């Protein structure tokens, strides 16, 4: 079968023939219909992240996925041929207490694998096989947004983490001491926008910022969900003296992260989701000022990665709610679907500004 293959840490992505996988008795075989491209894929293609399976040089790329079951192993009960599914990304280490209780997103050993990212082939291929416990069945009504479920699961987990921090002040649900919680979402790519939807749905007053020269591709979606957009191309000073209970960063700039910490309200939480794509040279940070503020104002900086299956289920519930409240906003995050043979222009960033590019594998 054909697959999109990388050779980390060498840069580049090629379409190649790889062996067609055969399902074991407890596995299903899935024909991939769609794959989403995200910043992590671009980092892997650039040779800055990712690793092949043990003993190999090549890795099949791709972790945002949507497909259809085409073959079912003899002891599989929960899935049938024709079911449409999205697969989770991380596979646990099998050793730590989190991986042994279906919480590999909190793996302690670091010995987990991630499909299409770390030590295990991904989904940018004609087929893959996996066990049903890693597959989430998708109702037909969500076909057009199923490929967004993986990044949505990451947003779901992240927002839940932040909520736990904010709940330290124990206002009525969705509020802090009687006023709505405020959130700043930094970055209006798919992960930022899905986080905007989750936060807006949960009653936060959300502001989104990005640095587009010209119109932000998400601006019409933002106005549909009633979220204010600020152009921060000239810097965060555009936000004036505003401070936020929750700041969710989905851009991947370490320098920016420290600047964002200065915009936290007392008792606030800075939630970091972006893997820094900056170069790795050290840069100065006003450390004493930062720590002083964190301590004196009960603030927290929290990182969040990946998502276990429960957040995929939560994401599906939210897709239904988003549709009910705001119509096709989630669909509108897909800027373009294009045949996977056109992968090069997307991965190399040679497309006009947009939100999410989806490769279609056919079928
Ligand atoms: C994926 C996560 C993964 C993370 C780190 C993200 O792009 O969505 O599932 O855990 O990268 O590898």
| C-alpha triplet 350, 351, 352: angle, nearest 5° | 130
pLDDT of residue 173: 60
230 token code pair? 């600020």
> In testing the pocket of ligand 1, which one of 59, 114, 312 has its CB within 8 Å of the most ligand atoms?
114
Are 81 and 101 part of one and the same domain? yes
CA of 176 to the centre of ligand 1 (A): 31
Are 23 and 51 part of one and the same domain? yes
pLDDT of residue 345: 85
Residue located nearest, by CA, to atom 7 of ligand 1: 40
Question: What is the count of structural domains for the chain?
Answer: 2
Contact call for residues 2 and 126 (beta carbons, < 8 A) = yes
Residue 64 domain flag: yes
pLDDT digits (tens, 9 = 90+) for 282-308: 899 999 999 999 999 999 999 999 999
Are 231 and 338 part of one and the same domain? no
Are 195 and 259 part of one and the same domain? yes
CA of 285 to the centre of ligand 1 (A): 27
Are 140 and 187 part of one and the same domain? no
pLDDT of residue 325: 97
pLDDT of residue 177: 63
Are 15 and 156 part of one and the same domain? no
The tokens 């330290």 sit on which residue? 168
Residue 321 domain flag: no
| C-alpha triplet 319, 320, 323: angle, nearest 5° | 85
CA of 2 to the centre of ligand 1 (A): 23
Q: Any idea how long the chain is?
A: 363
Distance from C-alpha of 226 to C-alpha of 214, rounded to nearest angstrom: 21
pLDDT of residue 340: 96
pLDDT of residue 176: 62
Residue 47 domain flag: yes
Lowest mean per-residue pLDDT among 51-60, 109-118, 175-184: 175-184
For residue 238, pLDDT over 80 is answered with yes
Q: For residue 211, give its domain range.
A: 152-303
Distance from C-alpha of 343 to C-alpha of 347, rounded to nearest angstrom: 6
- Which stretches within 231-308 are classed as H helix? 254-261, 287-296
Are 116 and 212 part of one and the same domain? no
Are 182 and 217 part of one and the same domain? yes
For residue 349, pLDDT over 80 is answered with no
Q: In angstroms, how far is CA 56 from the centroid of its own chain?
A: 27
CA of 51 to the centre of ligand 1 (A): 13
CATH assignment at residue 205: 3.40.50.720
pLDDT of residue 174: 61
Task: List ligand 1's pocket residues with C-beta within 6 A.
Answer: 38, 40, 63, 89-90, 114, 117, 150, 154, 305-306
Are 91 and 182 part of one and the same domain? no
pLDDT digits (tens, 9 = 90+) for 146-203: 999 999 999 999 999 999 999 888 666 666 666 779 999 999 999 999 999 999 999 9
Residue located nearest, by CA, to atom 12 of ligand 1: 117
CA of 177 to the centre of ligand 1 (A): 35
Distance from C-alpha of 45 to C-alpha of 36, rounded to nearest angstrom: 14
Distance from C-alpha of 253 to C-alpha of 245, rounded to nearest angstrom: 20
Tell me the CB-side half-sphere exposure of residue 6, using CA atoms within 13 A: 34
161 token code pair? 């983490």
Q: Which atom of ligand 1 is nearest to the CA of 64?
A: 8
């Amino acid at each position: 079968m054909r697959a999109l293959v990388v050779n980390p840490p060498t840069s580049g992505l090629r379409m190649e023939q790889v062996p067609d996988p055969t399902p074991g008795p407890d596995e299903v075989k899935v024909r991939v219909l769609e794959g989403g491209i995200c910043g992590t894929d671009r980092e892997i293609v650039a040779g800055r992240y990712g690793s092949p399976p043990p003993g190999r040089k090549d890795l099949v790329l791709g972790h945002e996925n949507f497909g259809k079951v085409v073959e079912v192993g003899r002891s599989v009960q929960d899935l049938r041929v024709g079911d449409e599914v999205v697969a989770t990304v991380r596979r646990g280490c099998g050793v730590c207490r989190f991986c042994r209780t279906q919480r590999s997103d909190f793996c302690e050993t670091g010995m987990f694998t991630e499909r299409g990212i770390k030590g295990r082939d991904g989904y940018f291929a004609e087929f893959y096989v996996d066990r049903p416990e890693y597959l989430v069945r998708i109702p037909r009504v969500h076909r057009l947004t199923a490929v967004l479920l993986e990044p949505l699961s990451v947003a779901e987990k992240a927002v839940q983490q932040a909520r736990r921090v904010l709940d330290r002040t124990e206002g009525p649900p969705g509020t802090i001491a009687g006023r709505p919680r405020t959130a700043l979402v930094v970055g209006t790519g798919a992960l930022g926008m899905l986080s905007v939807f989750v936060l807006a749905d949960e009653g936060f007053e959300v502001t989104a910022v990005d640095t587009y020269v010209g119109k932000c591709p998400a601006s019409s979606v933002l106005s549909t969900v009633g979220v204010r957009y600020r152009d921060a191309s000239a810097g965060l000073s555009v936000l004036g003296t505003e401070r936020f209970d929750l700041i969710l960063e989905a851009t991947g700039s370490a320098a920016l992260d420290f600047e964002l910490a200065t915009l936290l309200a007392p008792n606030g939480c800075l939630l970091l989701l972006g893997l820094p794509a900056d170069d790795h040279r050290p840069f100065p940070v006003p450390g004493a000022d930062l720590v002083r503020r964190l301590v004196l104002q009960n603030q927290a900086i929290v990182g969040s990665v990946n998502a276990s299956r429960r957040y995929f289920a939560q994401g599906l519930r939210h897709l239904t709610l988003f549709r009910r409240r705001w119509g096709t906003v989630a669909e509108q995050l897909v800027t373009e679907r294009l045949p996977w043979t056109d992968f090069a222009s997307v991965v190399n960033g040679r497309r006009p500004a947009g939100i999410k590019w989806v490769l279609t594998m056919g079928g």
